[in-house]
Structure formats: C-alpha cells, structure tokens
Amino acid sequence: MKLLTHNLLSSHVPGLRPGGGFPLRIEAAEVRVRPVPFNAAFVSRLVPRLRWEALREAAESLGRPSELPPEPLPDYEADEEFLRRLHHVLLEVEVLEGSLQCPDSGRRFPISRGVPNMLLSEDQ
C-alpha cells in the first residue's frame, strides 16, 4: 500500500460519523521502497487533494523522518525539489505487512503482500 492510497482511504465501516473513518492508523511491520518514474504534473495536481497533516503523520509512523514541510510550499508547482520529495513519500514508500485501524470504530484491516484487506464481515 502506497502512502498516496492511504491518504485517500477512509474506513467504510457502517454507522461512522462523517469523517470518522479518516485517517486510518498505520501499524507497519514491513516497509519497502520501490522506485517509480517521477511525473511533476501529476504530483503537482495531487497536492490540493491531500490531507497534509495526515500524510506527514503517516510518513513519521513508518519510522521514516518526514522530509515534508509543515505545509505545502507556496508556488509548489514550480518547486521541483519539493515535488520530488513529495513523489517519493506518496508513491515510492510501500507498506507490505501490517494493518490499518479505523479511528472511530477501532476495526483493523490487515495488510498482506502490500494489499490491505478491506473486507467487512457479512453483517456490516
């Protein structure tokens, strides 16, 4: 699971209050870095969609010092160094084993071989 996916993912356990499913808390047992070709235009267009604080927390929770500033830099579209660092955090760092925990319900979703298991039980 990439951190981009994690930043967009919201728990769909029924009955949560609005926004109660985000962000999922990452418990990572195995993390890997896999290079991905950099595309400045794509990364730049992602910035308005991201929850920045959740992204920094996620990077920190993976035991990696966060290379991201407290907020997106002004004029980030033209700042290649900033975009490259963001690209690395969003697309190149993957959680292979571990789990995601829904903040409101406490429900855990295991991650295996990089794939989170979001299946709910039948009565949900």
Partner 1 sequence: RSSRVVEIQSQMSERAVELLGLPEDRPCLLLDVGCGSGLSGDYISEEGHYWIGMDISPAMLDVAVEREVEGDLLLADVGHGIPFRPGMFDGCISISAVQWLCNADKKSHSPPKRLYRFFSTLYTALARGSRAVLQLYPENSEQLELITAQAMRAGFTGGMVVDYPNSTKAKKFFLCLFVGTSGTLPKGLGTECANEEQHQAKFTNERTRFRNIKGKSVKKSRDWILEKKERRRRQGKEVRPDTKYTGRKRRPHF
Residue 83 CA to residue 77 CA, distance in Å, equals: 8
Q: Could you tell me the two tokens for 98?
A: 């571990």
- If one asks whether residue 55 binds partner 1 (CB under 8 A), the answer comes out as no
Interface mask (CB under 8 A) for partner 1, residues 4-33, using x and -?
Answer: xx--xxxxx--------xx-----------
Cα torsion 46, 2, 116, 24: sign: negative
- CB of 7: closest distance to partner 1 in angstroms? 8
Report the half-sphere exposure of 55 (CA within 13 A, side-chain side): 27
Tell me 25's DSSP state: E
- CB of 105: closest distance to partner 1 in angstroms? 13
Q: Which residues bind partner 1 (CB under 8 A)?
A: 1-2, 4-5, 8-12, 21-22, 36, 39, 41-42, 45-46, 49, 51, 91, 113-120, 122, 124
